[in-house]
Structure 1
Amino acid sequence: MAGPEIERLIQLLARLPGLGPRSARRAALHLLKKKDALLNPLAATLRDVGESVHACSVCGNLDTHDPCAICSDPRRDAGLLCVVESVADLWALERAGVFRGRYHVLGGTLSALDGVGPADLNVDSLISRAQAGGLREVIIATNATVEGQTTAHYITDRLAPSGVQITRLAHGVPVGGELDYLDDGTLGAALKARRPL
């Protein structure tokens, strides 16, 4: 139905998370209809971003500078390090505005099924950061999945000899959540992580 260039655009858009073939086709048509207002500026921005954005050599965040803006910000607490699975997790914590320390992006989680081992993650540089000194606390903020829990235990074991305090994000009842709608695992985690008032 469409030329090879349009089909290639649709196929590339369909690779994006949340877009299937039908959504990609609609997005491609929308871009083509608004060529001057959307397609051309988007193409130029994608080219610029592809050339100028890279991973921070310290933490793994994406930025145009190395070290990134977070690592080079003197107002951030350098003794507090939050370990996250992905840049998306880092951005989520930054969006919430509740953490003023520094980060370390693992680049995924351990997964035997997917063939992801410790060498595939950014763990060795985390251990080096802990051994270099200056850290008071490492907060492990991996997801509450089997892979996230496995990764958290592995990191805890590797960090133990450094003597740094290791903490984990709390799991349990979300703000505004109703007990009747929570799964058994979440309720169990909430009971185990209870604290005095």
Structure 2
Amino acid sequence: MSESSLLNQLVESLRRLPGIGPKSAQRMAFHLLERDRDAGRQLAQVMAAAMERIGRCERCRTLTEHVRCHLCASERRDPRLLCIVEQPSDIVAIEQATHYEGLYFVLGGRLSPLDGIGPEELGLDRLEARFKEPDLGEAILAISPTVEGLATAHYIADLARGSQLRLSRIAHGVPLGGELEFVDGSTLAHAFAGRQGL
């Protein structure tokens, strides 16, 4: 594709999106240019506006156009509960799948010194300040059970020490509808360790 440098730039820009390889990016570019230029123009306008106006909520660090996101601004949310997640997309998943009615705190990743991600990058000083709020009764860690996720959870547990806060972690184990023979050993071990009475 050497005939058009602008076309190459479009394809390369689309390739930067997660999960989009060279062929998919090329298909998208050709579709927009050959069949739906209006959609391409609208996409460009919305993306430009989003890049300019979407920032982080001052309270929970999720993505929002406002100083405070709609969840933090809502009087219906329970201020006694704080769910700590890695990414804003985790909030969407929890909101869609559960009846959780508390507040959130978005880390923006996991501790990973090799990648240059330390406590400052995750806003852990702000999280520690939230732990000292008098209304807060429980913090729920909803962090991936990876090596970095476990290190992050332990770091957060250390921050919560000394407060009257109840710290809990979401359960990990066998997925609903899953068959034991297909579950990996580590997940099965977590499921056995976290077993509950009937």
Identity percentage of aligned residues: 43
Letter in 1 for 2:150: Q
Partner of 2:25: 24
Partner of 2:77: 76
Question: For the structure 1 residues 176 and 2, does the alpha-carbon distance in structure 2 shift closer, same or farther, using more than 3 Å as the test?
Answer: farther
Shift of 1:116: 1.5
| Long gaps (5+) in structure 2 | none
Shift of 1:144: 1.1
Alignment of 1:138 with 2:134, yes or no, is no
| Distance of 2:3 and 2:187 partners within structure 1 | 49
| Long gaps (5+) in structure 1 | none
Shift of 1:31: 1.2
Partner of 1:48: 49
Alignment of 1:123 with 2:141, yes or no, is no
Normalising by structure 2, report the TM-score.
Answer: 0.95
Shift of 1:112: 2.6
Normalising by structure 1, report the TM-score.
Answer: 0.96
Partner of 1:57: 58
| Distance of 1:2 and 1:194 partners within structure 2 | 62
Partner of 2:161: 160
Partner of 1:189: 190
Partner of 1:114: 115
| Distance of 2:136 and 2:3 partners within structure 1 | 57
Pairwise CA RMSD = 1.2
Aligned length: 197
Shift of 1:34: 3.0
| Distance of 2:142 and 2:119 partners within structure 1 | 17
| Distance of 1:52 and 1:97 partners within structure 2 | 29
